[in-house]
Structure 1
Amino acid sequence: MSGTDGWVSTGLAWRDGRAVLSAVHGRRTHEREVLPGTEVGWRLGGPRRCIGALLVGRDERTPCPHRAGIAPDGGAVQCPPCQSVDRGLALARDQILDDGRTYRLYLAWFGEGLLKVGLTAEQRGTSRLLEQGALAWTFAARGALPAVRRAELTVSAAGLARERFKVRAKVDHWWEHGDAAHRRAVLTDARARAHELLHGHEVELLPGHPVVDQVGLFGLTGGAPAAYHAVEGLADGAVVAGRLRVPIGRHLLLDRPGGEPPLLLDTRLLTGWTLTPAPGRPPSGLSLVPRARPEAPDTQEALF
């Protein structure tokens, strides 16, 4: 099937606390809420295309004027020209010094030893923390973009938290993440230490902001499935199918019939493919990597 026409996946986003999958056809957009228990099935058509860019001053994504192709199994969802003008990437690369909006500095906990510092536009609410799959988080400060960015760099340079973690490192902590009291204590302490570092900065400190725990929201109270197959690559003609579980950040867990391990799909891999309904068809054409919960270390001393 040619991917030159039809609905092109633009991935998963969180809006008003709901996970939404979206696709575009020209300038038309279709959105579907990710509801646990829903059976889905999509056949992928290529080539995989750039999804365009979010431009400064616009709320709607602008389609790629080049209809450029992108790597079928890569993490990038935009061609280089669209990347160069995308508002979100420009912010991440410090190419926008100030845009007049208010930003919030956050601390996010992804697992033991994985404490992240970042910023998000106040108008986005908590969407960024949901999309990143933060297991727990708190806002630490607010202010104009230049001041919040300086605060982020200060916290990172002090070694209190890092600005980035690889997706695999976050996912591996889904099996074991301690209890809510521990997560709350880590973040509360980290926020207090961050405030000491930010004394004199031109930001409003938020000492009373609650610690928000998202483990239950993501269906991870008992941890991730003991075994699953991670989708590492997609191809033209592949079929993605299964029964949806609760989404985790931008990841989908799909149960398969017959007791096979569920699939874990990073929806960024789905982005850029043309989707056609494939009801009743099993998954096929997927590059899968089996993963399993690590065995607990044997702490019992040997008899001899």
Structure 2
Amino acid sequence: MAWRCSGIGWPQGTRLAVLRWEGGRVSPLTTGRTLGFRAEGERSCVGARGHVCPLAATVGGRVTQARCAECARLDRAHSVAADTIADDPRVYRVYLAWFGPGMAKVGITAEERGPARLLEQGAVVFSWLGRGPLMAARRTEELLSRSLGVPDRIPYAEKRAVRADLPAGAGERAAEVGDAHRRARALEGWPETLEPLPYEPVDHAGVFGLAGLSRATRVVRELVDGGAVAGTLLAVAGPDLHLRTADGEVVVLDTRLLSGWSLVGADPGAPLSVPTADLGVGATGTAQDGLF
């Protein structure tokens, strides 16, 4: 029985990642469990904004967003991240996040989402900086980028390359966020409508399972028809699964590569049979209780 993955999720209040499947099923991603699946057929466009792709288009295996050009355009036309919505009435929060030494960033998220955006990005430590209307939050984000050189994006390849080498102490992990928070609050030019929030670091190292994490050596580049991914789950950070395969190697799977594929269960001890790259390069008729 084939299932179609609709992505990873971090349900509010659980701090436990799940894989979501079309039809509403979920698979909890608890560390230490074994999993295995195999792709079948072609990867198809997942559509946009809840609508099925009108072209039933196929998409490439290496893209992290399984959308054809038309559906990607429609999705982006309603995206806060793409600055296409300026009149969103919701309250937004500005945050500072840290992913490893020298990797602090600034970002914004709707207040109603809580810390979900930080979990989705794989932020090891974060602190809120302020709250207010969308455009005030956006201007603050731009102020920090311009005045402090704090970026609003960090590539996933850089994040995953350092997860096994992070400082062991929570205080040391939070140091860069604390420094950036202090410098940000001292800046002139804050929008009057943005309410400052105190420095209160939140550490996700335990949530992700990073303590004692073995260094990964390979990253899955793409799924292919008949290709299997299997192993023991060591950690889940953002969209990334860190797996120990049957031969003892540790590999990273970006779960965004799963969307658009039909997946069937595979032996958790099956060998990895999908294209990979060095870490840091690109990226029976009865109902089933779970795919793996």
In the superposition, the TM-score normalised over structure 1's length comes to 0.84
Say if 2:205 is the partner of 1:215: yes
Query: Closer, same or farther in 2 for the Cα pair 1:220/1:281, shift >3 Å?
Result: closer
Partner of 2:256 in structure 1? 268
Q: Percent identity?
A: 37
Distance in 2 (alpha carbons) for counterparts of 1:234 and 1:210 = 40
SS at match of 2:119: helix
Contact 1:104–1:142 (Cα < 8 Å) also in 2: yes
Gaps of 5+ in 1: 55-60, 293-304
Distance in 1 (alpha carbons) for counterparts of 2:268 and 2:84 = 47
- 2:175 corresponds, among 181, 185, 189, to 185
Query: Closer, same or farther in 2 for the Cα pair 1:282/1:157, shift >3 Å?
Result: same
Distance in 2 (alpha carbons) for counterparts of 1:32 and 1:267 = 13
The 5 Å alignment of 1:102-251 reads 102-178=91-167, 179-197=169-187, 199-201=189-191, 202-207=193-198, 209-222=199-212, 224-251=213-240
- Greater mean alpha carbon deviation, residues 142-151 or residues 210-219: 210-219
Deviations 1:170-189 (A, max 9, x none): 11221322232123232122
Larger Rg: 1
Query: Closer, same or farther in 2 for the Cα pair 1:171/1:101, shift >3 Å?
Result: same
Partner of 1:8 in structure 2? 4
Shift, 1:211, TM fit: 0.2
SS at match of 1:120: strand
Query: Closer, same or farther in 2 for the Cα pair 1:74/1:20, shift >3 Å?
Result: same
Query: Closer, same or farther in 2 for the Cα pair 1:243/1:169, shift >3 Å?
Result: same
- 1:39 corresponds, among 34, 37, 52, to 34
SS at match of 1:63: coil
- Greater mean alpha carbon deviation, residues 91-100 or residues 280-289: 280-289
Q: What is the number of equivalent residue pairs in this alignment?
A: 276
Deviations 1:25-58 (A, max 9, x none): xxx232211122322221101210112223xxxx
Q: Over the residues paired in the alignment, what is the CA RMSD in angstroms?
A: 2.2
Distance in 1 (alpha carbons) for counterparts of 2:268 and 2:209 = 26
Shift, 1:6, TM fit: 4.4
Structure 1 outlier segments of 4+, above 6 Å: none
Partner of 2:287 in structure 1? none
AA aligned opposite 1:22: R
Partner of 2:73 in structure 1? 84
